[in-house]
Structure 1
Amino acid sequence: MNQKKFIYSILILCLMITVSLSIYFYNQSQQYQSNPQSLNTSEEDSPAYHFALIGEEMDHDYWRLVGEGAKDTEQNYDVFVEYKGPRRSNPEEQLKLLDIAIQSQVDGIIVQALNDDFLPMINKAVDQGIPVITVDTDAPNSARSTYIGTDNYAAGQLAGRTLVKDTDGQATVGIVTGSFSNAHHQLRVEGFRDIVEQEDGIEIVAIEESNITRVVAEEKAHKMLTDYPDITALYGTSALDGIGMVAAAESLEMDHLYMINFDTLEENIQLVQEDKIDVLIEQKPYEMGYRSIELMIDILENSSVQDVYHTEASVVRKNDLDQVQKAGDFP
């Protein structure tokens, strides 16, 4: 008897499910008949262009601003910007992301070309009909359409001229650079050297690599200041180098050092306000991101573009901080 009740219960449950599904699909059918496009709007709703932006590292405020600039174009243009990058600086991972973007057949790629390994991959994209713009770091020997970013050699020269002026041409200098292999850091060092080495009273006694991390920047600056206690000035080429340089100087109670560093990130601005960094070389990462998307649209719509677009680099001191560009000030 109990077994029969169980079977009847199962049958009733199945019947109820069948009736419910029938009602659901009937309603869906009626809805589709009244609005045939309602189940197939993805193609019409999708933006005209899908772009891939591949930055150096996602956990860096500088690249966050590049990404914000690019993503903000979605408010004004019919585009979707997919912003990707390694968590920490990793050229190999960037190259993998670049290859994925090519395989995905996006409409355009904006990428930082950290070294010569990027050239064949950029050329591969262009060969497959995908235009490429380099941002922040150029690959002029590749098939890229244009470059937008700082003139890093000129920015290094600007830092050199500023140090010469502020020290009256008398300084013993240590350099902490983000990377010996990254082209933009090489250019910032080269431009700086070409200016300060013209001065008889200025000598560069050491150069160390921070791997674009504040911890390593502090370690290398500490070693440098210990090995060369007569250093009077430090120059950092990465946004995080200044933070490490200040920490190293404080640990050694060397509060008399002149310091010049790149990028007006929040922590660096705070150090300028506290008179721990004398000068920042300001770049325009938000503008780089925003303009790169506008340029890509121009390329796809057959408008002419220049070979290079240089964004401004400028000197920022404590009394200039109220004029520092914030994200959203451009355009």
Structure 2
Amino acid sequence: MVLRNPRVVLAAALLSILAAGAEAQDKKTLAIVVKGLDNPFFEQINLGCKKWLAENPNSEYECLYTGPASSADEAGEVQIVDDLLTRGVDAIAISPSNAPAMANLIRQRDPSIPIMTIDADFLAKDTALRETYLGTDNYLMGVKMAEHAMKLKPEGGTVCLQLGNVAADNINARAAGFRDTIAGEKGVDRLSGQNGWAEINGCPLYTNDQADLANQQMADTFTANPDLDAFILVGGWAQFAPQAYAQVTDQVMDKLKSKELVIVAGDTLPPQIEALKAGRSHVQIGQRPFEMGYKAPSVMIELIKGAPTSDPLFTGLDECTPDNVDSCLAK
């Protein structure tokens, strides 16, 4: 056995770390900026980004995942993008919490690097500011929610929509898809009896992407509206806090079991699938955030190279019900 001087071993280890750091610094940066690091949905995008990194260790590019600590910090997300532009990254994929504010930044900075959106897009009037959008067809997601709600409640009924940030284009597109499908016509701002459906007073609700607020809103709505027929979580915020969501739905479990009250929700993260299995929702319409994070670096590299890229790039949906819950998710 060969004995080695501990100091030599330590010095070699430090040199290895420094070399790795220098190599990382030489890599070009592909940044993914999400609405908030506190949202488990976006952590799936991070895991996709990490998988791309693991599969491309010799790439000249690195995938950087970042965002404000809180999903409610719209200004913080804008500042992070501003800082990345100043730092000089090579491309950025943005999930804008406040679409107009983020578009204004891009318009003012007029960056020479490729800018794309991921998960959430800019408003239609601002899409020329980015190269492409990668993510869910959010209008279609709302359509699917409506189709399932109508199947569960063919006679219609009273409904409450729970949304996220007021200026989040992806969430507003889902709400539009839901209302248009229920009403059977485009451009419906509020359901007021079309095909038997009417939104209750006080709704829609805006969670600002906060799980605790989402659950409190649900609890208050159930208490104030004992005859409510449908609650639509256009995003999965309340379900991202499974214990709190279980407590909220405990108060209406009899109604959920009998389908006197139905819950249709967005997203299919593991706790949400468990909620579906437990009868705490009736339908989950799932996005594919892992796929978004995994594909985003490759799309950004193509944009950097100037290769033709489709716009939009949709990642698909999963429709999960109690009947197909064990097989509904894309593999």
Among candidates 238, 241, 263, match of residue 238 of structure 2: 241
- Tell me whether 1:222 sits opposite 2:219 in the alignment: yes
Alignment of 1:179-258 (within 5 A): 179-198=165-184, 199-205=194-200, 206-242=203-239, 247-251=247-251, 255-256=255-256, 257-258=261-262
Are 2:263 and 2:281, in contact at CA under 8 Å, matched by a contact in 1? yes
Are 1:241 and 1:261, in contact at CA under 8 Å, matched by a contact in 2? no
Give the equivalent residue in structure 1 for 2:187. none
1:169: Cα distance to partner? 3.5
1:43: Cα distance to partner? 6.1
5+ unaligned residues in a row in structure 1: which ranges? 1-23, 32-37
Are 1:51 and 1:82, in contact at CA under 8 Å, matched by a contact in 2? yes
| 1: CA distance, partners of 2:113 / 2:33 | 14
Q: Secondary structure at the match of 2:195?
A: coil
| 1: CA distance, partners of 2:218 / 2:24 | 53
Higher relative contact order (CA 8 A, sep 6+): 2
Q: Secondary structure at the match of 2:35?
A: coil
1:40: Cα distance to partner? 7.7
Give the equivalent residue in structure 1 for 2:191. none
- One-letter code of the match for 1:296? M
| 2: CA distance, partners of 1:164 / 1:66 | 31
1:147: Cα distance to partner? 0.6
For residues 154-187 of structure 1, give each alpha carbon's deviation from its aligned partner in whole angstroms, at most 9, with x where no partner exists. Answer: 1111101111112224332122222333222211
Q: What is the aligned length?
A: 292
| 2: CA distance, partners of 1:40 / 1:177 | 47
Deviates more, 1:273-282 or 1:138-147: 138-147
Among candidates 281, 287, 293, match of residue 289 of structure 1: 293
5+ unaligned residues in a row in structure 2: which ranges? 1-6, 185-193
- One-letter code of the match for 2:275? L
Among candidates 34, 41, 48, match of residue 55 of structure 1: 34
Among candidates 43, 50, 53, match of residue 64 of structure 1: 43
- Tell me whether 1:178 sits opposite 2:174 in the alignment: no
Identity, in percent, stands at 22
- One-letter code of the match for 2:28? Y
The alignment's C-alpha RMSD in Å is 2.7
Give the equivalent residue in structure 2 for 1:81. 63
Give the equivalent residue in structure 2 for 1:120. 104
Give the equivalent residue in structure 1 for 2:78. 95
Give the equivalent residue in structure 2 for 1:279. 283
| 2: CA distance, partners of 1:46 / 1:122 | 26
With the length of structure 2 as denominator, give the TM-score of the two structures. 0.80
Are 1:264 and 1:324, in contact at CA under 8 Å, matched by a contact in 2? no
- One-letter code of the match for 1:93? G
Give the structure with higher Rg (CA): 1
| 2: CA distance, partners of 1:225 / 1:195 | 25
Are 2:319 and 2:328, in contact at CA under 8 Å, matched by a contact in 1? no
Q: Secondary structure at the match of 1:116?
A: helix
Q: Secondary structure at the match of 1:82?
A: strand
Q: Secondary structure at the match of 1:315?
A: strand
Give the equivalent residue in structure 2 for 1:161. 147
- One-letter code of the match for 2:215? E
